Amino acid sequence: MTASLIIQVVLGGLLMGFVYALVAAGLSLIFGLMNVVNFAHGELLMLAMYGTFVIHENLGLDPLLQIPLIVVVMFGIGVAIYRLLIARALDVRFNTGMVQIFVTFGLSIFLVGAAQLTFGSDFRSINNGFLSNQTFTLGPVILPMSQVLAGVVCLLAFGVLAFISRTEFGRALEATREDRDAVALIGIDRDRVFSIGWGIGAAAVGVAGVMLASFYYISPTVGDNFALIAYVTVALGGFGSLLGALIAGLLVGVVEALTALFIDPSLKQIGIFAIYVLVLMFRPNGLLGRL
Amino acid sequence: MGDNAILKRRRRELIVGAVLLIVLAVLPLPIESVYLRGLIVLTLLYAGLSQGWNILGGYCGQISLGHALYFGIGAYSSTILYVTLGIPPTLGMFVGGALAALAALLVGWPCFRLSGHYYAIATLVISQMFLLLASNWNFINASMGITIPFRTQSWLDLEFRTAILPFHYVMLAYVAVVWIIAWFIEGSRWGFYWRAVKDDAAAASSLGVRIFSSKMAAAAISGAVTGVGGALYAQYIAFIDPDSVLGLSLSVLIALPAVVGGVGTLWGPLIGAAVLIPVQQLSASWLGGSGDGADLMIYGALIVVLALARPQGLVSLFGIRSQAGGAVVDRA
Amino acid sequence: MPEPILQLRNVSKSFGGVAANVDVSFDVARGEILGLIGPNGAGKSSLFNSISGAVAPDRGEILLEGRRISGVGAVACTQSGIGRTFQVVRSFDSMTVLENVMVGAFARLRGSHEAMAKARAMLEFCGLEARMDRPAYMLTPPEKRRLEIARALATQPKLLLLDEMLTGLTPTEAQGGVQLIRDVRAQGVTIIMVEHVMEVLLPLIDRAVVLHLGRKLTEGSPAEVVRNPDVIRAYLGDHYAAV
């Protein structure tokens, strides 16, 4: 157990942390916007990963180059989900909260089934990408290039999200979040804002999916694990807070990596769960949350 | 002072319940297919489980997505007591139920101050945490699970070799008891308080309702009932492992019949189970055998369609009083 | 006054830096109907919330029959005998009228049959017995107000806080409301009313306490208060028409 091993593990955890942060940001955005938990969020990640895989296999495009394409497609899927399903769920007269939960749950089950039907349950991976076998060396620390790039890209995407939140649209999102009925009076079209919000949230998780596809295994249920981590991350960072998602994502990534190292790889999530329980007990709003 | 609609409705419910019980008691007798008999057993079990979930989720309004935790505690407690100490499951199930109730209180204590979705996520994460722990806990044989060996045929031990019919009656008794508990609660002080809290917590507390302790009571009952169901399931299937008794899909399947059938109603979970479980089981058998996913697509699509089309639950199709309306027929 | 039922002593409450109530003190006599009046933003609702236990005052205390009830919480206040209605009617929409009132009755009664009997009695008292099996959300606005009163009465309060019960009603409806309030007082319940509709309020109340910008401006009989120049000045900004 050398110091450089620990540093390497921590760095690896930080890089994964950026990925987690981006996935969580997408979830938090939708959540903070309309108080809807997207229980199909993990499946959106899975879709992006499969999309990347398919395009790579058939067109030879490297994941890194696919980002613009996947972003557009995922944005469209997010909008479609909102318009076809969520908008209807929000308009329901009774039990709206519950309907929202189970509509997205049903969607997630549906998507897993669709993936299974289309691709089978076997694990897939992208093995001969541009970066597949390259490594990044920094002194005694060696990390796979694909993971380093994943971290960097996700951090950049996060920056884009932060930028958007400061624009006029970002403020419209905020206003709609505060009072969705009143904003109609000042000319903000609630449905349009929500659609775009969903689109952005899905696009964010899409970017994470593209980068993950370059080094992580791909299967119909791969989304479940990331979704769980995303829930914990969002809860930890505080619902509706982008900065909170970032800090929490990094924290989660590092804790997971250290737990795997010091305790047991198959128990690596225990550290995250433990933190979640602590936050639950003492700061239910999360570190930076505004409930 | 004449009779009012409440008293009439409650009497009607008891009569319908009694009739239904008789019908279900004789239902399996002419059926010879082992598969169908097993399907009915599972449907009854989930009807009972969902009715138990409904006590917390439907009446009290706290949507739990982690009820598998209580199911698993019940299943493992009863099984371990039986396999290692020979304690019959007919006793072990009460131990399981009590432990599950305790767990529900411990979970509820920090979680009840969370609202709606946040509470749902918390229950989900907590139950996933215990799934992970259980999968690595050697005392309960970790992810390899525990097989319940067959000893002798006995009602006390709930062992019936390969016969399914006795389990039909066990599960029927289970769902009947849970239903009666729900019926009692609906007409009791707690039942009124839970519905009041769900409708308007501030108004409720201005009328003297102790929100937190009433939620804890709901949690304990709900947990206990779920735990007992888990113990019965363990004896029926004779094998348990973390994935089958603590998994997320189980939590969802426990909640769904109530959601689809009509939360906070007496008949909702029963109707929902009668619709969902056969669909889910049959599509899994016919289409899902090779793991090709079509069954999941049907199941998922069905959930979405039912949730959107009938948010107040399938009970509204029968003109039965649903959560959203009063004693009069509600066809909103 | 002989042993007052409610005493406020220097009650102060702020929300996020804004002072809602500042140093408010007055007594309420047993069995009287007291009007709590003042222009918008005077702090009336905030005071109600402090008395009913929904919030705890920052400073000062509130005594019910000599016992401190400030800061004990809404549930304890109800148990001690304080009932209230809300400005925006908050009925339990998934329940019938009867069931709504039963929730209140359960504050004092354990069994469902007793609670049901009590609820029916309260509905009859408030003139809603014919509607008892209707879903609560189907009531007309004046009926909903009666429901609020019936529900609060079912908790067997000693003191009833009515928050703008008579606002927005037609003259006939308002007269019915006034009669009901008089009937409630005749049962021995002390009443504090927040109200804006002066024409209806002033003939009904025994005394008035006027709040302005969070402080108590004055108190006295309706006639005295109405003639008070400070009171008139306070209201001029509210387009108050002299009675």
Distance CA B104, CA A54 (A): 45
Give the per-residue pLDDT at B332. 26
Structure-token pair, residue B128: 């996933």
Give percent of chain B with pLDDT exceeding 90: 52
What does the pLDDT average to over B19-25? 93
Give percent of chain C with pLDDT exceeding 90: 58
C75: which chain B residues are within 8 Å (Cβ-Cβ)? 205, 208-210
Q: How far is B275 from chain C (nearest CA, A)?
A: 25
- B328: which DSSP letter? S
What does the pLDDT average to over A4-14? 88
To 10 degrees, what angle do helices C112-125 and B189-199 make?
Answer: 50
For B247, phi then psi, to 5°, come to -75, 160
Give the per-residue pLDDT at B234. 94
Instruction: List, in sequence order, every residue forming a beta bridge with B139; answer none if it has no partner.
Output: none
- B227: which DSSP letter? H
Provide the residue count of chain A: 291
Structure-token pair, residue A17: 């942390």
CB A65 within 8 A of CB A131: no
Closest in B195, B208, B325 to C92, CB measured:
B195
Please say if the pLDDT value at position A5 is more than 90: no
CB C139 within 8 A of CB C97: yes
- Chain A residue with minimum CA distance to B262: A95
C94 and B210 within 8 Å at the Cβ level: the answer is no
- Chain C residue with minimum CA distance to B205: C75
Q: What is the pLDDT of residues A205-245, one digit of tens each?
A: 999 999 999 888 999 999 998 999 999 998 888 877 888 88
Range B5-318: architecture per CATH: Orthogonal Bundle (1.10)
Q: What is the pLDDT of residues A23-54, one digit of tens each?
A: 999 888 887 777 778 899 999 999 999 999 99
Nearest by Cα to C157 from C43, C36, C69, C57 = C69
CB A252 within 8 A of CB A200: no
Please say if the pLDDT value at position A182 is more than 60: yes
Sorted by where each begins, the domain ranges of chain B are: 5-318
Give the per-residue pLDDT at B233. 95
Q: Where does the pLDDT of residue B326 fall: very low under 50, low under 70, confident under 90, or very high at 90 and above?
A: very low
Q: Where does the pLDDT of residue B183 fall: very low under 50, low under 70, confident under 90, or very high at 90 and above?
A: very high
- Per-residue H/E/C for chain C: CCCCCEEEEEEEEEECCEEEEEEEEEEECCCCEEEEECCCCCCHHHHHHHHHCCCCCCEEEEEECCEECCCCCHHHHHHHCEEECCCCCCCCCCCEHHHHHHHHHCCCCCCHHHHHHHHHHHHHHCCCHHHCCCEHHHCCHHHHHHHHHHHHHCCCCCEEEEECCCCCCCHHHHHHHHHHHHHHHHCCCEEEEECCCHHHHHHHCCEEEEEECCEEEEEECHHHHHHCHHHHHHHHCCCCCCC
Residue type at A270 in one-letter notation: I
A91 versus A15: the higher-pLDDT residue is A15
Q: Where does the pLDDT of residue B329 fall: very low under 50, low under 70, confident under 90, or very high at 90 and above?
A: very low
Pairing of strands C59-64, C67-68: antiparallel
Other Cβ atoms less than 10 A from the Cβ of C205: the count is 22
What does the pLDDT average to over C60-82? 92
* Average model confidence (pLDDT) across chain A: 85
Say which CATH topology domain A3-282 has.
Answer: ABC transporter involved in vitamin B12 uptake, BtuC (1.10.3470)
Please say if the pLDDT value at position A105 is more than 80: yes
Nearest by Cα to C130 from C120, C145, C116, C117 = C120
Q: Is B136 on the interface with A (CB under 8 A)?
A: yes
Q: How far is A48 from chain B (nearest CA, A)?
A: 19
For C27, phi then psi, to 5°, come to -115, 155
Closest in C83, C110, C151 to B189, CB measured:
C110
Domain-embedded: residue C215: yes
**How many residue pairs from chains A and B have C-beta atoms closer than 8 A?**
148
Structure-token pair, residue C25: 């003190």
Q: Where does the pLDDT of residue A151 fall: very low under 50, low under 70, confident under 90, or very high at 90 and above?
A: confident
What does the pLDDT average to over A236-256? 88
Q: How far is A139 from chain B (nearest CA, A)?
A: 36
Sorted by where each begins, the domain ranges of chain A are: 3-282
Lowest mean pLDDT among A152-161, B150-159, C70-79: B150-159
DSSP string, A242-255: HHHHHHHHHHHHHH
What does the pLDDT average to over B192-220? 90
A108: which chain B residues are within 8 Å (Cβ-Cβ)? 300
Going across the sheet that includes C67-68, the strands are C18-28, C6-15, C59-64, C67-68
Return the partners of chain B (3 or more C-beta pairs < 8 Å).
Answer: A, C
Q: Where does the pLDDT of residue B320 fall: very low under 50, low under 70, confident under 90, or very high at 90 and above?
A: low
Task: Report CA A252 to chain centroid distance, whole Å.
Answer: 13
Distance CA B124, CA C102 (A): 35
Residue range(s) defining the domain that contains residue C199: 1-81+159-165+189-243
Please say if the pLDDT value at position C239 is more than 60: no
Q: Is B316 on the interface with A (CB under 8 A)?
A: no
Task: Report CA B201 to chain centroid distance, whole Å.
Answer: 25
Residue type at C134 in one-letter notation: R
H or E element at residue B38: helix B34-54
Give the per-residue pLDDT at A177. 67
The CA-atom distances, in angstroms, between B191 and each of A12, A131, B55, B187, C135 are: 52, 61, 9, 6, 17
CB A28 within 8 A of CB A242: yes
Q: Is C84 on the interface with B (CB under 8 A)?
A: yes
CB < 8 Å from A in window 58-97 of B:
63, 65
Other Cβ atoms less than 10 A from the Cβ of B2: the count is 4
B202 and C54 within 8 Å at the Cβ level: the answer is yes
Structure-token pair, residue B298: 């049907």
Give the per-residue pLDDT at B327. 31
CB C231 within 8 A of CB C225: yes
CB < 8 Å from B in window 162-191 of A:
none
Please say if the pLDDT value at position A129 is more than 70: no
Distance CA A134, CA A115 (A): 30
Q: How far is B175 from chain A (nearest CA, A)?
A: 24
Distance CA B83, CA B72 (A): 16
Give the per-residue pLDDT at B330. 28
Which range has the top average pLDDT, B95-104, B146-155, B287-296? B95-104
Provide the residue count of chain B: 332
B259 and A98 within 8 Å at the Cβ level: the answer is yes
At B64, is the secondary structure helix, strand, or coil? coil
Other Cβ atoms less than 10 A from the Cβ of B210: the count is 18
CB < 8 Å from B in window 40-99 of A:
85, 88-89, 92-99
What does the pLDDT average to over C93-109? 92
B4 and C120 within 8 Å at the Cβ level: the answer is yes
Give the per-residue pLDDT at A149. 82
Lowest mean pLDDT among A177-186, B117-126, B204-213: A177-186
* Average model confidence (pLDDT) across chain C: 89
A101 and B65 within 8 Å at the Cβ level: the answer is yes
Per DSSP, helices labelled H in A35-144 are: 41-59, 63-81, 87-90, 96-119
Total domains, chain C: 1
Lowest mean pLDDT among A6-20, A181-195, B250-264, C99-113: A181-195
Q: How far is C238 from chain B (nearest CA, A)?
A: 30
Give the per-residue pLDDT at B331. 27
What does the pLDDT average to over C178-202? 91
Whichever domain contains C58, its CATH number is 3.40.50.300
CB B197 within 8 A of CB B214: yes
Domain-embedded: residue C27: yes
B325: which chain C residues are within 8 Å (Cβ-Cβ)? 94, 135
Give the per-residue pLDDT at C82. 94
Distance CA A252, CA A236 (A): 9
- Chain A residue with minimum CA distance to B129: A273
CB < 8 Å from A in window 259-278 of B:
259, 263
Q: What is the pLDDT of residues B95-150, one digit of tens each?
A: 999 999 999 999 999 898 887 778 888 999 999 999 999 998 888 888 888 888 88
Closest in A35, A99, A235 to B307, CB measured:
A99
C101: which chain B residues are within 8 Å (Cβ-Cβ)? none
Q: Tell me which of B185, B200, B206 to substitute to probe the interface with C (most C C-beta atoms closer than 10 Å).
A: B206
* Average model confidence (pLDDT) across chain B: 87
Give the per-residue pLDDT at A1. 67
Angle at B58 between CA B53 and CA B60, to 5 degrees: 100
Residue labelled with tokens 């209180």: B105
